[in-house]
Each structure stands twice: as C-alpha cells, then as structure tokens.
Amino acid sequence: MADVSRVPLNIAGRLVVWVSMIGALIPLLFMVLTSIKPSGDAQTIPPKWVFRPTLEHYAAVFGGETSSSQAFLPLLVHSALVAAASTALSILVGVPAAYALARVRFTGRKFLSTWILSTIMFPPIVAAIPVFVLAGQLQLIDTYPILIIPYTAFNLPMVVWLLRSVIAQIPADIEEAARVDGCSRIGVIARMTLPLAVPGIVAAAVLSMILCWNEFLFALTLTRADVKTAPVGVNEFTGMFGTQWGNLTAASTAIVAPILVMTFLLRRRLISGLTMGAVK
C-alpha cells in the first residue's frame, strides 16, 4: 500500500532525472558540435545538425593560427604547470597541517581549525587588489609564483578540511600499536597513517587540480603572456571583430576535456572526501 503511493513519485523522479540529464548535456553538446562544424555552419538558423565535421578549428587552435594574440597550446601548458605546482604545494603543506589538527593535542588547535576553514570564504577579488599592487611593485606580475601561491591559499581550506577528516577516520590504535612496537613518531606517520590516507589525499589533489585549472580572476589580473592560463585565453576568442565560434569551442573542449575525464574517473573519491566532514 505504501508502494502504490510511490508510483507517481517514482515517475516524477524519473522525469526529473531525465530532464536534468538532458539539461546537463545540451551545453556540452553544443560546445563539441560547434567545434567540429565548418565555420559557415556555426551560427545558422535553423541550427544545422547535419554537416561535414572538420578538425580545422582544432588544428588552428593548436597550431597557433588564430587571430588571438597567442597560440593556445602554451596556455594549456601554463595551466597544467600552475595547477600541478599549486596542488603539490597544497598537499605538501596541507597533510602535516591536517595531521596536526586531527591527531596532535595542542593549545589553540580548535581555534586554528576553525580559522583555517573560515578562510574559504575570503573572496579572491578582495585579495586580488593588494596582490596586484604589490606584485606590480615587486615585478612579480606574469610569473609562476604569483599564481601558485594564491591558488594554494584558496584551496588549502578545502584540502585541509578533507584531509583532516580522512586522517581522523583512521583509527589511532594502529598508530598506538606501532608506537608500542618501538616505531618513531615520524615513522608511524610515514609508514602507517599516510598510506591509509592516500585515497583521501588523491581526492584532495584532484579537487585542487580542478579548482586551479578553472580559475579565472587571478589569472586574468596577474598574467600577461608568459604565464597566461587557458581560461583567460579562451575568453580572447571574442573581441572587437566578432567571435570565432569554431576556435572558441575547440579551445573550450580542449580545456574541459581533461577535467571531465579526471572527474569521471575519480567521482566517488571526490564526493566521499567532501562529505566525510559531515560525519562525526
């Protein structure tokens, strides 16, 4: 009897799911389709669904033959370098911090924990202005560190939060037992705790990579040509002389593809990492 009343709800549920899936996919479909349409077919009414696919836009974008100020491929490289470096730094710095907050009893721990997590609400634009002024004075504009350090700072609260719950979930008994057996504290951490925390560390790293890769404001403000990242570059396909839709969508697909793949492969880890904080 309870089951009968479920049927309309189930139908509604299925409908919501299907509509959401279609809604989720349409913009991506548009992006990919337009990137393989010949230029003349990109903006037509009615929209063309039958056309001769071409890879000319990808060739143009990767070959540097667009009318943008710069070739696109180096921008992807810049993005990758910045994301990798910032993620490495976040993990390097975040793991010890998370360990301390989860395991080590010390005065001020609770306060630190709260404060570190609260920094997530600091709007980047507010930090961008002083950083811009200072970076200008120190000739740091358009250098790698000027992106890497802020990105690390933006992602640390998330990373620390995630890693803290991961480490806290590892039973202390394991460490206790190893200590009793005579292991040094560092040894315990390195050989017992960290390996068990690897799944969580991976989740944190993936999250950090995604956030760095997609970042726009700081990259827009603090880079010119040497370190310009892909999101800034893709925005330049629109300008005074119209929008090159083929090139824009090809570049967009190139930006989005790696993240889509990463997200797909690691979705479970990501979600479990983010929600661990909710469980006491």
Interacting positions 86-115 with another protein (CB under 8 A): 89, 92-94, 96-97, 99-110, 112-114
Per DSSP (E only), the strands in the chain are 238-239, 242-243
Distance, in Å, from the CA atom of 168 to the CA atom of 200, rounded to the nearest integer, reads 11
Residue with tokens 């959401």, as numbered in its chain: 20
Binding to another protein (CB under 8 A) within 233-262 occurs at: 234-236, 238-243, 245, 248-249, 252, 255-256, 259-260, 262
Task: Give min distance, CB of 59 to another protein, in A.
Answer: 19
Task: Give min distance, CB of 139 to another protein, in A.
Answer: 7
Task: Give min distance, CB of 240 to another protein, in A.
Answer: 5
Residue 49 in contact with another protein, rule: CB under 8 A? no
Q: Which CB sits closer to another protein, 17 or 59?
A: 17
- Answer whether 202's CB lies under 8 Å from 269's CB: yes
Binding to another protein (CB under 8 A) within 156-215 occurs at: 156-157, 160, 168-173, 175-176, 180, 210, 213-214
Binding to another protein (CB under 8 A) within 116-145 occurs at: 116-134, 136-137, 139, 141
Binding to another protein (CB under 8 A) within 54-93 occurs at: 67-69, 89, 92-93
- Residues 6 or more apart from 237 whose CB is under 8 A from it? 66, 68, 243, 244, 247, 248, 251
Task: Give min distance, CB of 29 to another protein, in A.
Answer: 9
In this structure, what is the dihedral angle of CA atoms 177, 182, 187, 189, given to the nearest 10 degrees? 30
Query: Cis omega before residue 53 (within 30°)?
Result: no
Distance, in Å, from the CA atom of 200 to the CA atom of 195, rounded to the nearest integer, reads 10
Q: Which CB sits closer to another protein, 24 or 55?
A: 24
Distance, in Å, from the CA atom of 154 to the CA atom of 151, rounded to the nearest integer, reads 5
**Number of residues forming the site for another protein (CB under 8 A):** 129
Packing angle of the helix pair 245-265, 73-103 (nearest 10 deg): 30
Residue 221 in contact with another protein, rule: CB under 8 A? yes
Distance, in Å, from the CA atom of 241 to the CA atom of 236, rounded to the nearest integer, reads 11
Binding to another protein (CB under 8 A) within 3-22 occurs at: 5-6, 9, 13-14, 16-17, 20-21
Binding to another protein (CB under 8 A) within 140-159 occurs at: 141, 149-150, 152-154, 156-157
- Answer whether 246's CB lies under 8 Å from 96's CB: no
Q: Which CB sits closer to another protein, 50 or 279?
A: 279
Distance, in Å, from the CA atom of 222 to the CA atom of 228, rounded to the nearest integer, reads 9
Sole binder of another protein in the list 201, 231, 246, 269 (CB under 8 A): 231
- Answer whether 166's CB lies under 8 Å from 273's CB: yes
Task: Give min distance, CB of 258 to another protein, in A.
Answer: 9
Sole binder of another protein in the list 31, 71, 88, 196 (CB under 8 A): 31
